[in-house]
Chains A and B, each alone.
Chain A
Amino acid sequence: MAEGEKNMKNPQDPWSKLAAAARRAEPDLRDEVAPYGLTTRVLAAWRQHAQAEINWERFGWRALASAFAVAAICVMLNYNGLKSFGDDNLEVADMVDTETVL
């Protein structure tokens, strides 16, 4: 309480007087025990939030696994094409080298 008074310089200042009087008001101590049902509601909301997080995590992992599987299937289906693409590039590179030498 003393600290609050220290913060205000002039005791004749209207706000200082009002604040000093307000500080003398009895603190509101009614119902300091959690009302019936509040704890249950809080814990239910917490569980729901935790479950939602788990669901998102699961969804994330599943999406990652699916994306990886689709990528693997695409590579398998196009393996020959990709391989020949590499060979073609080598052939082109050889041709370019030969032309440069000539």
Chain B
Amino acid sequence: MEDTHAEMVACLARVRNGDEAAARELVDRVYPLVLRVVRGHRPRAVPEEDLAQEVLIKMFTRLDQYRQEVPFEHWVSRIALTTCLDHLRAQYRRPEWRLADLSEEESRYLEECCAADTQGEAPGEAMAARELAGKLLEHLNPKDRVVVTLLDLEGYSVAEVAALTGMNGTLIKVRAFRARRKLRRLMEQWRKEKKI
């Protein structure tokens, strides 16, 4: 871990001195991380490669602002997250998804989740659950969506979400509470509409 950190610091120093090979190495190092954040939070309409490219360009152009107060990976994650948030805001203003777009499997899964005593644990349904969760999350405002995704789908703690987003812990809890309440209402509403 220490070695990796030391290698990263050395790599950054070389990049700052204009070493192109080091810059390529830096892209290779951070690309999987950027891709993970982008895949977790990107709006449907934006291709992940375009978003990853935007994040990497921002990373390089802001490299002088990195002060080594936090690990470089956290700093890059934060850039990736704020970039996704900007795109989510744009998508939130013009949502393009409708209830009718739920697949058969997702509808069945929705029914199962809303039923009182099922656990929703059937194997192979996890992807459908993920898709359905993604579609539900599109109806939240972008900041709430990021908070709930990080807490409930990616398993981060409130403190970690605070470090990643720059919001304070209380605000995160309030956002998560309201967002979950909205998601529950939405699930119930969709279930009723599907039945009709």
Inter-chain contact A14/B153, CB cutoff 8 Å:
no
Contacts of A33 in B (CB 8 A): 28, 31
The secondary-structure label for the interface of chain A is helix
- What 0/1 pattern do residues 92 to 114 of B give for CB contact below 8 A with A? 00000000000000000110111
Question: Chain B: interface residue count, which band?
Answer: 35 or more
Other than the given A3-B151, A18-B132, 10 more pairs (CB < 8 A) read A3-B155, A13-B180, A14-B184, A15-B184, A22-B133, A23-B155, A32-B32, A38-B27, A41-B53, A43-B20
Kindly state the separation between the CA atoms of A93 and B115 in the bound complex, as whole angstroms.
Answer: 97
Kindly state the separation between the CA atoms of A25 and B130 in the bound complex, as whole angstroms.
Answer: 7
Contacts of B60 in A (CB 8 A): 42-43, 45-46, 49
For chains A and B in complex, what number of residue pairs have CB atoms within 8 angstroms? 122
Residues of B within 8 A of A (CB): 20, 23-24, 27-28, 31-32, 35-36, 39, 49, 52-53, 56-57, 60-61, 109-110, 112-114, 116-121, 125-127, 129-130, 132-133, 136, 151-158, 176, 180, 183-184, 187-188
Kindly state the separation between the CA atoms of A14 and B66 in the bound complex, as whole angstroms.
Answer: 42
Contacts of A31 in B (CB 8 A): 35
